Amino acid sequence: MEREGAQSAARALGRVVTVTLNPAVDLFVSVKRLQPGTLHRVPTPLQHAGGKGINVAKMLAGLGVPAVATGFLGGNRGNWLHEEIVRQGVDSRFVRIADESRVNVKVIDEDGTLTELNSPAPQFTEADWRMFGDTLKQLCTGADSWLALCGNLPAGCQLDWYKNVIEWAKAHHIKTLLDASGEAFALGIEAKPDVIKPNQHELEQLLGQTLTSEEDVVRAATQIARAGVGLVVVSMGEQGIVAVTSSVAVHVRVPRVPVVSSVGAGDTVVAGLLYGFIHRLSLPEAVRFAAAAGTAKVQKPGNLHPSKADIEDCLKTTVIVEMGE
């Protein structure tokens, strides 16, 4: 009953539609130390529905926020992904394609080192893209909706796809969050989304410069915000999160914790931000909640998500600090 009440309250405020164009079955394998060319006997692998937008939607659903996940699914793996997404409380509205959804293998050493073996994207037809465009327009309705565009674009997709979708969303008064990288990210930013969420490395790639201090990050993020992006949120690992608008900068510091798995930590930060926006928290408190969510996530194995209680525990030592403190 408590979760139903939370979902009803969140539904009254708005919902989130997440886009994952290239989902995967993520298979996590733990080893003491990865040694190429040798036999490894491993504990039972963990299998998760993977993809940045899917991760965001699962986390939001766990926090009681209505979440819809869309993109492309195909074959038996696609069937499993759909069932797993629904099992976790997400409204799965993926377009079905003929080709098989991909599988990714993630090997984690005892010291936390991650080795990833990712397979290529399936093939999409022009009819698949048309159907997906129609689906997205049907799902994104209402001024209180958020559209979260997450992850890299699959091969064959136009690099300005995010840009075009953001322009369409803005014309229909739908708020947008972009979490991507590379040229598609740069082009998407030209459409001036409401929020972008790069990590420090992605911000450096975007600007073609090394950022060696918190002040450098703030200056770089402010430059992007003043060009028209509403909010730039930069995750900086152990240094926490910097969030910048054209006139305000917020820095949230996080506690040092043991890192079990960093996979999906950035997606959990995105979900935490959206949770804060949906519940109309102030900007500093929304960023603080997102930072605590990311900190709670890295303490979980594989791609498991933290609970609200886990996040609240991390909130006790997650603090907002004055810039330059």
Q: Which residues are catalytic?
A: 267
Instruction: State phi, psi for 142 to the nearest 5 degrees.
Output: 95, 145
Report in angstroms the alpha-carbon separations of 169 from 10, 82, 148, 194, 288: 21, 26, 11, 11, 27
Q: Is 204 exposed, middle or buried (0-12, 13-18, 19+ CB in 10 A)?
A: middle
Closest CA to 64 of 296, 241, 311, 231: 311
The Cα 154–Cα 184 span in angstroms is: 11
Q: In 3-state terms, the chain is what percent helix, strand and coil (to 5)?
A: 40, 20, 40
Q: Is residue 233 within 8 Å of 196, Cβ to Cβ?
A: yes
How far, in whole angstroms, is CA 209 from its chain's centroid?
A: 24
Residue spans of alpha helices (H) in 30-145: 52-62, 75-87, 126-139
157-196 burial, b for 16+ CB within 10 Å, e for fewer? beebbbbebbbbbeeeebbbbbbbbeebbbbbbebbbbbb
The Cα 234–Cα 231 span in angstroms is: 10
The Cα 171–Cα 154 span in angstroms is: 25
How far, in whole angstroms, is CA 58 from its chain's centroid?
A: 10
The Cα 75–Cα 258 span in angstroms is: 38
